[in-house]
Amino acid sequence: MTWPISNEGDYSEINKIPISTLFRWFLYDVNSDEAPKYASLFNLTPVSEEGNLKEQEDSDIRLENLAELLPLFDFYADATSEFSFKLHKDKLTKLEGVTDDMINASEEAFKEFYYKIAFAGILSSFSALVELKIIKLNSTHTSIEEGEL
C-alpha cells in the first residue's frame, strides 16, 4: 500500500510512498529506542543494527527540524488530553456504579494516556509532512505568555 504525495502543489505528478515507510518513521520519531521492538505492530520487517542506527539518525534530523514547534505540540497535546478526559468523564458519570472518586482517581492516568497519543500523532504528522516537503517551516513563534488565552 502506498500514500500519494504531491510536492510544491504540483498535482500533475504524484509520487507514492509506502505506508510501511510512514509507519517506520512514526515508530522512530515517537520512540526511537524501542522502534525495532514495536515494528511487528505494523508488520514491518526487522532492520539490521546498521539499519536501526540509520533510522535513528534520520529520525533525529526530522525531530531537530521540529524543535521550535515542540511547545506548540505540547500545548495542543495538553489541550487534547483535557478535552478528551472531560468527554470521557461525561460518559463515565452516566454509567451505573461509577463514582466520582473512581473517576477522580483515574484522571491523571487518563490525561497522561491521551496526552501521549495526541503528542505522538502531532509530532509524527508534522515530521512526515516536513520530510515529504508537503509543508515548509520558515519561521515560528511558539511562546505563549501566561494569561493570553
Over the stretch 20-31, which tens digit does the pLDDT of each residue have?
999 999 999 999
Q: Is 97 left (phi over 0), alpha (psi -120 to 50) or beta?
A: left
pLDDT of residue 115: 98
> How far apart are alpha carbons 149 and 144 in whole angstroms?
8
Q: 9: which residues sit within 8 A by CB, 6+ positions away?
A: none
Segments making up each domain of the chain, as ranges: 1-64, 68-149
Question: Measured between alpha carbons, how far is residue 38 from residues 93, 98, 119 in Å?
Answer: 35, 34, 18
Over the stretch 98-141, which tens digit does the pLDDT of each residue have?
999 999 999 999 999 999 999 999 999 999 999 998 888 876 55
